[in-house]
Chain A
Amino acid sequence: MTARKFLSGLAACTLFAAGAFADVPVRYTDSGPEPLLAHVFEQIEQNQWEAALNETEALVKAYPKFRLGHLIKGDLLLARTRPLQRFGQGGPRVAEEQVADLREEAIARLRAYKNKPTESQVPRYLVQLRSDQKHAVVVDTQKARLYLYQNDNGTPRFVADYYISHGKLGVEKLTEGDKKTPIGVYHVTSSLPRQKLPDLYGNGAYPLNYPNEWDKKMGRKGHGIWLHGTPSDTFSRPPKASDGCVVLANTDLDALAKNLQIGSTPVIISNSIEWLSLDDWQTERQSLLTMIDEWRRDWESLDLERYASHYARDFKSDGKDLDAWLAQKKKVNAGKQWIKVATNNISMFRNPGKDDYVVVTFEQDYLSSNLSNRMQKRQYWIKDGGRWKIVSEDAA
């Protein structure tokens, strides 16, 4: 029967696009429409039409503004009256683009649902959370997914994941108005309540600090990259829909917002998350912590050569280049009998994507024979000649 062939074809192309998922243990921690959606597609695959329609009815009842649910319902109903060849066939031709968008959404939701991270997987970027950073957010634009992690004594523990939309024209934002989402390590800078926003932004908005120091260094332009909700008549938007913002369903935004600390919760946006096993994550974390500690000890040693070995050739700090920086350090060190440096409350995040760097912040406690101070510091470490070196160092 053609109708059957069509719908299982849809299920097949959707589910198979999701790759092998049978072996991945699935954890039902989410509250979104994915579990029902996935079940509907399973039933379609097994030719259980009646059950699939019933579940779809339940789905749109639970999520009345979920357009994808309504489209599947339309298909399942129409398949009873005529053979269907493709997803959303009953929609008018003028709406072809919307149908294609909803198909993308279906694929994205199912793929993320079937490929949930396991307990023993950690996004590589969350190297070290500060004790006051209760949560961290990691976005995977390819999967159209946002993952929320909890800081469990330094180890990131998965809490929840949500479907998201990103820029219409993809990622790697470069210029104002390019409708792209930036890739990088950011944090939420403020909270804009619903009352102060147009309906487009839904239940609220959380601006990010794009462009960050690195972006500025790279000459990236634009502003106004936010996490925000959906308009009141819309449950979710297609995977690529925004002008660069990361968009969540209002209920998801509300749930996420409870865990966002203004000014401190990291929001890391990646094109495709690199996952590490807990063991590998631990090893990488240790080696990066050691790297910081070696820098600290070499500074304490008052041996300028050892200290200089931690700085990259194109280092810059507040307008100073490497030579100027080292000359200054030499001058200061000359007057010291001893230095004690402590780095407390370290946070380390590895940048996703092409620019491989680690952004490190810490509380620097500096004691010396003639001067002491305490400051918040931020360093960017890059791979230079196969070794991690500091390319920028400033007061944070």
Chain B
Amino acid sequence: MPRLGAPVRLVLLVSGCTIFGAAPAAWANNIEDVSHSIKSGQYAKALDQVDRYLADKPKDAQGRFLKGIILTGMNKQGEAIAVFRKLTEDYPELPEPYNNLAVIYAQQKQYDKAKEALEMAIRTHPAYATAHENLGDIYSRLASQAYGKALQIDSTNESAQTKLAMISDLVGTGKVGVGGTAPTPIVAASKTPTVQPAAPAPTPPTPIVVATVKPAEPAKPVDASIEIAAAIDGWLSAWSKKDVKGYLAVYAKDFDPPKDQSRKEWENERTQRVGKPGKIEVSRDKLAIKAEGDDKVVVRFRQHYKSASLSTSSGKTLVLVKRDGKWLIQQERVGG
């Protein structure tokens, strides 16, 4: 399973459907209506639909799961927690309710509870990437809380950012499955902090932690990998958002366009392609960073590209250079 950060969390919905099996056609339509309402942000309507659905099938896991997502979207966290918690009791073998429970606890800054829930999700499904990924997040936040207590640092900034990312994740979860809908700025904004490798083994640090634990700190050599990861994630995020200006801004002045194109020709081609209508998601796996000097690195990673019509994963190699304190792309090649 590709580890896509925010996009992966759409697995909640989709795999939910598959796990719970095919429902009778009439019900299936009903559930689809609910999903549609969620995806278009009509939570009140979705709640009404799902309540009617559950009136007939009160034990239905899929319906209850969607209700939890709706309540989360409506900011009724207490009720959402109750729904997801009951699901974990009735279906302890499902990791998704644990995961979502954890996301809400994290929103409420109850990181210890979030951690417990995610550990339960992993206990039932050791390979559940989303839970691993979220757990990494939670560890980071618990760590910065602990450092805050140890060193008497104020970490108020962090919580605000965390909350935004988490809420939009759930909204994003609902949206991605549809295909046609234009991404909202919130969804796009959520990508940078959440696109991250999920491996529990040594991984590059999450941008969230860096941004919050070390505010306004000059870069250290040790932390160059963090800046580089942030630059690449910013680039992927701009690409996904079809923010052509932001996308091109990550390329250095002396970027070497492929196929003997001039800078102008290349820019025109990219503007046209990146700006093409239709929803896309571009994300990445773990970065392999090799220093080529103080201000130059070669970075290799798997890049995942997904649109309504195309879904690919390929090796990508970028040469980045540091100019005026920013990491910029000097060369871009497909392949490792």
Instruction: Give the docked Cα–Cα distance between A150 and B220 (Å).
Output: 54
Mark B residues whose CB is within 8 Å of A.
136, 139-140, 142-147, 149-153, 200-206, 209, 213-215, 217, 220, 222
CA distance A67 to B215 in the complex (A): 21
* Contact partner, B150, options A3, A74, A83, A94, Cβ 8 Å: A74
Judging by beta carbons under 8 Å apart, are A93 and B214 in contact? yes
Residues of B within 8 A of A82 (CB): 202-205
Q: Which residues on A sit within 8 Å (CB–CB) of B150?
A: 67-71, 73-74, 88, 91, 98, 102
Cα-based distance from A67 to B148 in the complex (angstroms): 9
Minimum CB–CB distance for A139 against chain B, Å: 26
**Residues of A near any B CB (own CB < 8 A):** 1-3, 60, 67-71, 73-75, 77-78, 80-83, 85, 88, 90-95, 98-99, 102
Residues of A within 8 A of B203 (CB): 81-82
Chain A contact residues: over half helix, strand or loop, or mixed? helix
Residues of chain A with a CB closer than 8 A to B136's CB: 80-81
The reply to whether A77 and B139 form a contact with Cβ atoms under 8 Å apart is: yes
11 additional contacts (CB under 8 A) given A67-B152, A81-B143, A92-B215: A3-B202, A60-B149, A67-B150, A70-B149, A71-B151, A74-B144, A77-B143, A82-B202, A90-B143, A92-B147, A92-B153
> Bound state CA distance, A2 and B202, in angstroms?
8
A92 near B205: Cβ-Cβ < 8 Å: no
For the complex of A and B, 9 pairs with smallest distance between CB atoms: A74-B146, A71-B150, A77-B143, A70-B150, A70-B149, A78-B143, A95-B151, A73-B146, A74-B147
Known: A74-B144, A82-B202, A82-B205. A95 touches B153 (CB 8 A): yes
Tell me the smallest distance from the CB of B148 to a CB of chain A, in Å.
8
Q: How far is the CA of A78 from the CA of B148 in the complex (A)?
A: 13
Q: Which residues of A contact B153 (CB under 8 A)?
A: 91-92, 95
A91 with B202, Cβ < 8 A, contacts A77-B140, A78-B140 known: no
Cα(A91)–Cα(B152), bound, Å: 10
Contact B200–A80 (Cβ < 8 Å): yes
Q: Which residues of A contact B143 (CB under 8 A)?
A: 73-75, 77-78, 81, 90
Contact B213 A90 (CB under 8 A): yes
Bound Cα distance from A127 to B220, whole angstroms: 56
Q: Is the CB of B152 within 8 A of A78?
A: no
Which of B147, B149, B200 has the most chain A CB within a 10 Å cutoff? B147
CB distance from A68 to the nearest CB of B (A): 7
Task: Please report the C-alpha to C-alpha distance between residue A81 and residue B202 in the assembled complex, in whole angstroms.
Answer: 6
* A/B interface sample: 6 pairs, CB < 8 A: A70-B147, A73-B150, A78-B143, A88-B151, A93-B214, A98-B152
Residues of A within 8 A of B149 (CB): 60, 67, 70
Instruction: Specify which chain A residues have a CB less than 8 angstroms from the CB of B152 in the assembled complex.
Output: 67, 98
* Closest Cβ neighbor of A102 among chain B residues: B150
A171 to B173, CA, bound (A): 63
- B144 — which chain A residues lie within 8 A by C-beta? 74, 90
| A77 engages B146 (CB within 8 Å) | yes
Distance of A67 Cα from B214 Cα, bound (Å) = 19
Whether B147 and A71, one on each chain, are in contact in the complex, defined by CB atoms closer than 8 angstroms, is yes
Decide yes or no: A88 and B147 within 8 Å by CB, A80-B139, A81-B139, A81-B140 being known contacts.
yes
Query: Do B140 and A67 have beta carbons less than 8 Å apart?
Result: no
Q: How far is the CA of A90 from the CA of B214 in the complex (A)?
A: 9
Residues from chain A with a CB closer than 8 A to the CB of B142 are: 73-74, 77
Closest residue of chain A to B215, judged by CB? A92
From residue B150, how far is it (CB to closest CB) to chain A in Å?
Answer: 4
Residues of B contacting A99 with CB < 8 Å? 151
Say how far B202's CB is from chain A's closest CB, in angstroms.
5
Nearest chain A residue, comparing its CB with the CB of B220: A93
Distance in angstroms from B161 CB to nearest chain A CB is 16
Minimum Cβ distance to chain A for residue B213 (Å): 6
User: In the bound complex, how far is the Cα of B89 from the Cα of A286, in angstroms?
Assistant: 75
Contacts of B205 in A (CB 8 A): 81-82
- Closest Cβ of chain B to A52, distance in Å, is 13
Contacts of B215 in A (CB 8 A): 92
